[in-house]
């Protein structure tokens, strides 16, 4: 973890502060929120889950930057209510791989010659979903992207559960309407078809209702998906790999990125 000054507190939301983890205590706070969401709420498991300390960890954590959203008014003071795990190409080289390479073949992205940033372990405390907290977290992400000149964002995002048939509508919509072009189209290593329903038979409303809010938000930003899903039985999820070219951001999000030039 590298030391960085925190971003200024948002004028619109004076109780929020965004920063990168700077200490072991910061990292534990992020891992504690991850435990609440991924283990307690979603039933995830894995070798790095520490039930005694209520931490969700893995061996990759020391290589990542950990973006944290703090609510300065919440007890205990400065409670972490949102986190993002970020990995640049230089950090991936030190680690030996990108985290999502266990699930997806990333060769097309790595051969592109463009600056990559892997996103992962994104979560918000249950009390902060559907409000301004996600916007605040993304504003911090925008600052990080601008600071490092990132051109491609990517990472796995998850549907709860491991039965593809139960997710046939949303998976099929992603395949038919949001598949990335060949030059950005990563491929699942344990290929689970996503085209489970013909395009003409998709109920778009039902498909979008069945799509997690985070994935829908990425789609609104211009995000696209790779080829095939990955069934993760350890975390009790079906994962898709989302890819976003920052040059293709819609106008509103481009303005957010342009305003966030300083900080992380």
Strands 152-160 and 116-124, by their bridges, are: parallel
What was the pLDDT predicted at 113?
A: 92
Q: Report how far Cα 210 is from the mean position of its chain's Cα atoms.
A: 18
Note whether 34 and 56 are within 8 A (CB): yes
Is pLDDT above 90 for 167? yes
Cis geometry, peptide bond prior to residue 78 (ω within 30 degrees of 0): no
pLDDT at 164: 96
Q: What are phi and psi of 163, to 5 degrees?
A: -105, 105
Reported as a single tens digit per residue, the pLDDT across 77-97 is 668 999 999 999 999 999 999
Q: Do 29 and 17 meet the contact criterion of CB atoms below 8 Å apart?
A: no
pLDDT higher at 179 or 2: 179
Name the region of 222 (left: φ>0; alpha: ψ -120 to 50; beta: rest): left
Task: Enter the tokens of residue 113.
Answer: 């010659």
24 contacts 63 by C-beta, under 8 angstroms = no
Give the pLDDT confidence of 215-229 residue by residue, as tens digits. Answer: 998 898 889 999 999
Name the β-bridge partners of 67: 20, 84
Confidence (pLDDT) at 256 = 55
- Return the higher-pLDDT residue of 226 and 160: 226
| pLDDT over threshold 50, residue 62 | yes
Phi and psi at residue 244, to the nearest 5°: -135, 125
Residue 18: its H or E element? strand 16-20
pLDDT value at residue 188: 98
Mean pLDDT of the chain: 86
Does the pLDDT at position 12 exceed 80? no
């Amino acid at each position: 973890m590298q030391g960085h000054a925190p971003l200024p507190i948002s004028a619109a939301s004076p109780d929020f502060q965004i920063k990168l983890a700077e200490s072991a205590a910061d990292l534990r706070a992020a891992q504690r929120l991850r435990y609440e969401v991924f283990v307690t709420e979603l039933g995830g498991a894995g070798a790095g889950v520490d039930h005694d300390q209520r931490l969700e960890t893995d061996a990759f954590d020391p290589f990542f930057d950990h973006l944290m959203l703090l609510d300065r008014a919440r007890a205990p003071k400065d409670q972490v209510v949102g986190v993002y795990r970020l990995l640049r190409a230089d950090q991936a080289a030190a680690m030996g791989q990108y985290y999502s390479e266990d699930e997806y073949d990333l060769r097309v992205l790595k051969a592109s010659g463009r600056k990559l940033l892997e996103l992962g372990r994104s979560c918000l405390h249950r009390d902060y979903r559907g409000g301004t907290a996600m916007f605040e977290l993304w504003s911090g992400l925008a600052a990080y992207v601008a600071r490092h000149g990132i051109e491609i964002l990517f990472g796995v995002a998850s549907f709860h559960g491991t039965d593809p048939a139960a997710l046939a509508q949303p998976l099929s919509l992603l395949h038919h309407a949001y598949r990335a072009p060949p030059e950005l189209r990563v491929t699942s290593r344990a290929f689970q078809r996503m085209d489970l329903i013909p395009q003409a038979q998709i109920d778009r409303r039902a498909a979008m209702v069945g799509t997690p809010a985070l994935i829908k938000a990425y789609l609104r930003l211009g995000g696209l998906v790779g080829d095939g899903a990955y069934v993760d039985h350890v975390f009790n999820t079906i994962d898709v790999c989302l890819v976003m070219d920052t040059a293709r951001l819609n106008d509103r999000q481009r303005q957010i990125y342009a305003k966030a030039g300083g900080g992380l």
